[in-house]
Amino acid sequence: MRAVIQRVTQAKVEVAGEVSGQIAKGLLVFLGVGREDADQDVQFIAEKLVNLRIFADENDKMNLSIKDVKGEILMISQFTLYGDCRKGRRPGFDAAGEPARAQELYEQTIELIKQQGVRVQKGIFAAHMHVSSVNDGPVTFILDSSRLF
């Protein structure tokens, strides 16, 4: 699994003109599921999202997690994180997970995060979405459950 994580002061996602998810302070997470991903990838990503210390403490140091600041997560499915742009002009998506399995792992990730007491809003899987946010910092990180980076 791959995730692009942005620390935000607010974020929302709209589908067909309707808001499907909206948060205040927290994390906007774009999550892609790969063809080879399994339960251990879900565990890794969920644990990282809940415990990653990327919010400022009283000394303005990144020392607090989403749980510490009682923030929220807006989770957006994004298969294009597995787009391969190394050859040609059109990305290839051979490494992206099959839609049914990808949705299952996406939903599992959300449930694991909720079980740890973090409020999660989400987009609609496989829908055309409009996402807006105010990045705080800006602070943006990339995670890969295969630990490629």
Rounded to whole angstroms, what are the CA distances from 49 to 73, 98, 142?
9, 23, 11
The owner of tokens 């607090």 is 64
CB-facing half-sphere around the CA of 12: CA atoms within 13 A: 8
d(C-alpha 124, C-alpha 139), whole Å: 25
- Confirm whether 9 is a catalytic residue: no
Helix (H) or strand (E) segment spanning residue 14: strand 2-15
* Residues acting as catalytic residues: 80
